Amino acid sequence: MEMLQMIITIATWFSISWARILPKGRFGKVNPKGIEFYNKIIDNLLLKGIEPFVALYHQDMPQILEESYGGWLNHLIQEDFLYLATICFNEFGDRVKHWITLNEPNHVAEFTYLRGELPPARCSPPFGNCSAGNSDVEPLVAMHNMLMAHAKVADMYHRHFKTTQGGLIGIIAFAFMYEPLRYEEVDREAVNRALAFNIAWMLDPLVYGKYPAEMHECLGLELPRFSNSDKELIRGSLDFIGINHYSTLYVKDCIYSACSMGGDRPVRGFLSTITERDGVPIGKPTAMPRFFVVPRGMKKIIEYLKQRYDNMPIFVTENGYSPKIQHDEHVEDLLQDVDRIKFHKAYLAALASAIRGVRMHSRCSRKSLRLLFLDCRPWPSLIFSSTGVILDLFFWTVAVPQSHFQLYKSDFGSSQKQQPTQCNYYILPHAKKKKKKKKSNVIITCKLCGRDNS
């Protein structure tokens, strides 16, 4: 918590483990130790002057819900999620003023039900080779249930808790930006479909009560429908948008061109995303296979969201850099952290440019761009003993070799204290400067963790 206080000037966000609060879902009792655990986190953050943003779901749920009725593939989960949210609002809502219902539901739909890379690993060819699943249908069903679960939670909060607790309800989208592979109309149209199938897929229903037109055109009757009562419930159920933005990809049209790996399927929007043009990467590579350094994408994604969603408040809830680390690299070189400094400098400049662009439009409010949360977490690393963390985090199911996002170096094989990298000395003055300027609306802070880790 001391390290957080050094870096974070305003806020942090973390996710609640559903199974920690309700190990058996609605079929069992509330776990009092889970309530105590999160009370301690929230109270300690507030004691340090750090505002907690809290997510109710981050890719985990009680196993019994998956085994009993199929998790997000069954509408019954909407009521289970509502039950979790009610408990959390009752227990923590007097101190938590920013609630995130779901972190990256578009990522969950893709990597759990289309690619089958995350539990319960459901998919079908050509997207993957799983023991069960239907990649052409199940991602759409899962997203539909997640969106309706969000809508029910938001409705319940606004009717029963908003007046007394005064909080806000939002959601987080995983948000690549996209650029046409070729300067041709078909690829430009494919970019519009890519944005619709990845971002507007989850945000359009929450703002406008319907899926984007591009999805209706491609999917037809395969796309789930909202009833009239559903539309009334889901429309306008957002107080703010959170985005996790790391990079930008090229997009190739698959309607008039041949594509592989499912790009020619309706569920993918008849498009393919690519990292290179004529053998040249879209940006400087990082340790993450699909994450390239493309600062202009930050400005473009903000501008897209501001225009499409009429200036709704936005929080950049994740952004960060994971350099490629060599086994023979010295600790002193790691601590210099030159590439990370360049990354944040470029992305912050792009974000500032987006804000200036917003201010030029009289109908746009400068207050709509709020916080930038830096991703300070360690991703699983083959050299983890010689890299470090800001706070330890859960491990993903698939290790990412030689990657780390953290701002502190720790040697877990010794009693050596955590050492800040030089990136801290770049970030810290900007963060403190922003704190003093009360009218500023881009405040540098840090993501505490993806989920709790005990």
Where are the domains positioned within the chain? Answer: 2-175+225-244+289-447
Rounded Cα gap, residues 253 and 275, in angstroms: 14
Bridge partners (DSSP) of residue 15 are: 55
- Measuring CA to CA, which residue among 345, 247, 251, 375 is closest to residue 301? 247
In 3-state terms, what secondary structure has residue 240?
strand
Q: Which helix (H) or strand (E) holds 116?
A: none
In 3-state terms, what secondary structure has residue 19?
helix
> Which residue would you say has higher pLDDT here, 369 or 392?
369
In 3-state terms, what secondary structure has residue 312?
coil
DSSP designation for 71: G
Place of tokens 């009218």: 439
Q: Contact, 427 vs 374, CB < 8 A?
A: yes
Tokens linked to 318: 């994740």
Rounded Cα gap, residues 140 and 219, in angstroms: 10
Residues contacting 453, CB < 8 A, separation 6+: 391, 392, 393, 394
Active site residue ranges: 104, 318
Q: How large is the average pLDDT for residues 124-138?
A: 97
Class of CATH domain 2-175+225-244+289-447:
alpha beta
Q: How large is the average pLDDT for residues 219-225?
A: 96
Rounded Cα gap, residues 400 and 381, in angstroms: 6
Conformation bin of residue 390: beta by default, left when phi > 0, alpha when psi is -120 to 50? alpha
pLDDT at position 374: 61
Q: Which helix (H) or strand (E) holds 152?
A: helix 138-160
Q: Does residue 401 have a pLDDT over 60?
A: no
Q: Which helix (H) or strand (E) holds 420?
A: strand 419-420
Bridge partners (DSSP) of residue 316 are: 243, 372
Q: What is the largest CA-CA distance in the chain?
A: 61
Q: How far is CA 381 from CA 343, 384, 390, in A?
A: 20, 5, 15
Rounded Cα gap, residues 331 and 328, in angstroms: 9
Q: Are strands 98-103 and 168-174 parallel, antiparallel or unpaired?
A: parallel
- Residue 356: how many other CB atoms lie within 10 Å: 11
Bridge partners (DSSP) of residue 318 are: 244
pLDDT at position 438: 44
Residues contacting 211, CB < 8 A, separation 6+: 201, 204, 205, 223
Count of residues making up the chain: 454
Percent over 90 (pLDDT), the chain = 66
| pLDDT band, residue 4 (cuts 50/70/90) | low
Q: How far is CA 151 from CA 65, 79, 233, 308, in A?
A: 20, 11, 6, 20
Rounded Cα gap, residues 110 and 179, in angstroms: 20
Q: Contact, 430 vs 349, CB < 8 A?
A: no
- pTM listed for this prediction: 0.86
In one letter, which amino acid is 230?
D
Rounded Cα gap, residues 150 and 143, in angstroms: 10
Rounded Cα gap, residues 10 and 45, in angstroms: 10
Lowest mean pLDDT among 17-21, 269-273, 292-296, 403-407: 403-407
- Measuring CA to CA, which residue among 193, 191, 229 is closest to residue 211? 193
Tokens linked to 8: 């974070």
Helices 422-436 and 338-359 pack at an angle, to 10 degrees, of 20
| pLDDT band, residue 390 (cuts 50/70/90) | very low
| pLDDT band, residue 334 (cuts 50/70/90) | low
Compute the CA torsion angle 121, 287, 182, 198 (nearest 10 deg). Answer: 40
Q: How large is the average pLDDT for residues 397-402?
A: 44
Q: What mean pLDDT is reported for the chain?
A: 83
